[in-house]
Amino acid sequence: MTERHVIAVLVDNEPGVLARVIGLFSGRGYNIESLTVSEVDAEAGLSRINVVTLGTPMVIEQIKNQLDRLVPVHSVHDLTEEGPHVETELALLKVAGQGDKRVEALRIADIFGAKVDDTTLESFIFRLDGQSEKIGRFIELMKPLGLVEVARTGAVAISRGSEGV
Amino acid sequence: MSQEMTGSEIVLRALVEQGVDTIFGYPGGAVLPIYDALHVQNSIRHILVRQEGGAVHAAEGYARSTGKVGVVLVTSGPGATNAVTGLTDALMDSVPVVCLTGQVPTHLIGNDAFQEADTTGITRPCTKHNYLVKDIADLARTVHEAFYVARSGRPGPVVIDLPKDILQGPGTYTPPSINGHRSYKPRKKGDIGQIEKAAAAMAQAERPLFYCGGGVVNAGPKASHLLTELVKLTGFPCTLTLMGLGALPASNKQFLGMVGMHGTYESNLAMYHCDLMINIGARFDDRVTGKLDEFAPHSTKIHVDIDPSSINKNVRADIPIVGDAAHVLEDLTKVWKARQHRADRKKMDAWWAQIDEWRSRDCLKYKQSDTLIKPQYALERLRELTGGRDDVFVTTEVGQHQMWAAQFLPFEKPNRWMTSGGLGTMGYGLPAAMGVQVAHPDALVIDVAGEASVLMNIQEMSTVAQYRLPVKIFILNNEYMGMVRQWQELLHGGRYSESYMDSLPDFVKLAESFGAVGLRAEKPSDVDGVIEEMIAVDKAVIADILVDKAENCFPMIPSGAAHHKMLLGPEDQADNPISEEGMVLV
């Protein structure tokens, strides 16, 4: 019954708006798998919140309706429901090691298409984008090879085709 | 034309332009500039309460009895935190309130300054929206917007947090924008296709039932007229929620009484057995639905609500309609007439015969006593002795007396009944009655109270005295927190843990100490005299009605049970122990 939905929310870029959205999720007991927020239209003062959530169809409908009735919310789009969409996430990984492990880490990074953003003689910082699930697999592989730290953005998504939200 | 003025003057000018004539408030350091500006004007009357919580409830009473936005003014820190219960109450019951809170100057925000609290942080989940004004250029626009948000769509409370430097600083006034809000545009008109579907379902129904709530009251008196007309046109029965009382005249033959936990037998049985439920402006609250998986199991459900998040929240709607109750009722009536729909006479007769059978159980009957005043009897007498008047407003506190008042007092019009439904706030009734009386100086305003609840905001007797508000506080005094005691009896083996009221004040002397009239009834034969005197005297009155301490409120749907498992009286109680599932519910 539980479904994973990617929801995009266009909001006024004003103080407290993120707190309203997060407070809604915690106050009503909804799940947040990931959440990203950034201004997307400086002229109009609009930010976009991308939230990935889990819930039954009835809960997902509630989440959308509850979000939509917040005063600074302009529109709510359930990308999962609205059709095909492109979804991606960015991760930075710090992997430290020497010798074979260092070579193996670099080799696997190459297979995954991760970029090396920085290196020292004992460490790499890898940058990888793509589906959250693919990033998860990459992280698992790096664990035995000296994974020190991970930073992930959470998913962002946009619908396919020529129409905008 | 814009001219330079202080922030406080901008606030007051915006209030006047929004039609505000009354503010309920309490001064303090951060709002001194507004109080200074109030002192030198005559457009707005300020009512000084005795605690900020009382100010919000008074504003709620004002708002609900007039349909206008209630306005509150409190200081920073404790002023704002004291207002939180009232704000939550207004949010739960959809009452339009604008609450102005003082704040420390902008440069001190975040410094743990004296009387600083994160007011927007604290009130975010208990308001419809809130603002912190950090630039005086935004001040007038923010006040206008707050009023728009408070009264539009599903009404609710809005807080404007006003740092002291903003109130003192120079700025310019701007009138309300004519362009509307940039993101908040609630839908008023219902989808006509859905309304057609609803009308068709109504014409097909064999056992239809209107189930209407506070949304009809909030949509204005026109919505109540339209509902009354549609109920007559269709011949369908109608039940109302606690918040909806008055939306259909209580004397209407098609009115089945209140629905829900302490609603009438006929209403709840009709809910259970109906095949079409027409919900207009009610939200399937747990006090109405009881056990959800056995709720109206055979029915198709039409749900009209202005708030899309109310639809499919607790109960799935088959025909959802998002819109204002008045607009949808108007369109529904038009469609019903235009399509020449009419109910099947034979089937309706059968349905009404069934309902009349349920009605004949006379579920509100109680055992009269010669020696003890039954609370129901006291309310029946109040009903009879105020019956001829058209200007009666009733507020309540929360508990048994509230449910008895809902059962026994008749409301012929909307906006005459002010009670704390969603939040269940003890202490609501006295300050709410003040707000009603301020708005309707010549009306008969009665706070039906319990002795426990009324003590929660008893300090407001001082406000009542100061403004010579002739409110009547009708205390059904059973020396218990009656509803708590009833639940302890039902659920906890009669162990009355901390639910008795010891060391009560002498309410007669208490009234007198505030310059009001104190009356007491100790036996049934006292009741009429006390009520007559209470009405006759042109002063505030506390009528201390010493009622049967053991009386419980029936009928009752025990928690966790379905509508048809209703207990009609104490004799049912013993045979139907509460399920374990029901024990954990509130």
The verdict on A15 touching B (C-beta cutoff 8 Å) is yes
Q: Which residues of B touch A62 (CB under 8 A)?
A: 309, 312-313
Question: For the purposes of burial, counting CB atoms within 10 Å of the CB of B329, is it exposed (0-12), middle (13-18) or buried (19 or more)?
Answer: buried
Cβ atoms of A11 and A49 closer than 8 Å? yes
The amino acid at residue B381 is: R
Identify which of B124, B309, B313 has the shortest CB distance to residue A16: B124
Q: Do A12 and B183 touch (CB under 8 A)?
A: yes
Residue B541's nearest CA partner among B514, B523, B522 is B514
The verdict on A29 touching B (C-beta cutoff 8 Å) is no
Q: Report the catalytic residues of B.
A: 52, 114-115, 164, 483
Specify the pTM: 0.96
Distance between B222 CA and the closest CA of chain A, angstroms: 25
Distance between B313 CA and the closest CA of chain A, angstroms: 6
* pLDDT per position as a tens digit, B332-355: 999 999 999 999 999 999 999 999
Can you give the pLDDT at residue B581?
75
Count of C-beta atoms within a 10 Å radius of residue B469: 22
Can you give the pLDDT at residue B179?
83
Q: CA–CA separation, B445 vs B449, rounded Å?
A: 12
Q: Do A69 and B308 touch (CB under 8 A)?
A: yes
Angle value at C-alpha B537, between B531 and B541, nearest 5 degrees: 65
Q: Do A62 and B312 touch (CB under 8 A)?
A: yes
Residues of A numbered 125-144 whose beta carbons fall under 8 angstroms of chain B's beta carbons: which are they?
none
Residue burial B1-21, b: 16+ Cβ < 10 Å; e: rest? eeeebbbbbbbbbbbeebebe
pLDDT class of B574 with cuts at 50, 70, 90: low
Residue B2 above 70 pLDDT? no
Q: Do A71 and B313 touch (CB under 8 A)?
A: no
The values of phi and psi at residue B236, to 5°, are: -80, 150
* pLDDT per position as a tens digit, B501-541: 889 999 999 999 999 999 999 999 999 999 999 999 999 99
Cis amide linkage into residue B555, ω under 30° from 0? yes
Identify which of B121, B132, B184 has the shortest CB distance to residue A71: B184
Q: What is the three-class DSSP state of B123?
A: helix
Tokens of B319: 């025909």
How much is the average pLDDT of A108-123?
Answer: 97
Residue B572 above 90 pLDDT? no
Q: How many beta-carbon pairs under 8 angstroms link A with B?
A: 43
Residue B364 above 60 pLDDT? yes
Q: CA–CA separation, B312 vs B292, rounded Å?
A: 13
Q: Which residues of B touch A12 (CB under 8 A)?
A: 182-183
In sequence order, the 6+-apart residues with CB closer than 8 A to the CB of B243 are B93, B213, B214, B217, B282, B419, B421, B422
| DSSP H stretches of helix in B209-322 | 214-218, 221-234, 265-273, 286-289
* pLDDT per position as a tens digit, B296-328: 999 999 999 999 999 999 999 999 999 999 999
Q: Do B309 and A66 touch (CB under 8 A)?
A: yes
Identify which of B124, B149, B183 has the shortest CB distance to residue A73: B183
The verdict on A22 touching B (C-beta cutoff 8 Å) is no
Tokens of A20: 């309203």
The verdict on A23 touching B (C-beta cutoff 8 Å) is yes
Q: CA–CA separation, B354 vs B270, rounded Å?
A: 9
DSSP strands (E only) in B164-232 = 170-172, 208-212
Residues of chain B with pLDDT > 90: what percent?
93
Can you give the pLDDT at residue B586?
75
DSSP strands (E only) in B409-499 = 417-418, 444-450, 472-477
DSSP strands (E only) in B421-569 = 444-450, 472-477, 517-521, 541-546
Q: Which residues of B touch A73 (CB under 8 A)?
A: 183
Residue burial B255-266, b: 16+ Cβ < 10 Å; e: rest? bbbbbbbbbbbb
Question: For the purposes of burial, counting CB atoms within 10 Å of the CB of B432, is it exposed (0-12), middle (13-18) or buried (19 or more)?
Answer: buried
Q: What is the three-class DSSP state of A119?
A: strand
Residue B48 above 90 pLDDT? yes
Assess: ipTM above 0.90: yes
In sequence order, the 6+-apart residues with CB closer than 8 A to the CB of B367 are B374
Residue B561 above 60 pLDDT? yes
Can you give the pLDDT at residue B584?
78
Query: Distances from the Cα of B77 to the Cαs of B132, B157, B163, in angstroms?
Result: 14, 18, 12
Identify which of B125, B153, B183 has the shortest CB distance to residue A74: B183
Q: Which residues of A touch B129 (CB under 8 A)?
A: 70-72
Q: What is the three-class DSSP state of B213?
A: coil
CA-only gyration radius of chain B, Å: 24
How much is the average pLDDT of B27-55?
Answer: 98
* pLDDT per position as a tens digit, A31-60: 999 999 999 999 999 999 999 999 999 999
Residue B70's nearest CA partner among B462, B78, B89 is B89
In sequence order, the 6+-apart residues with CB closer than 8 A to the CB of B84 are B122, B123, B126
Identify which of B120, B121, B309 has the shortest CB distance to residue A62: B309
The amino acid at residue A165 is: V
- H or E element in which residue B495 lies: none
Residue B253's nearest CA partner among B234, B240, B238 is B238
The verdict on A71 touching B (C-beta cutoff 8 Å) is yes
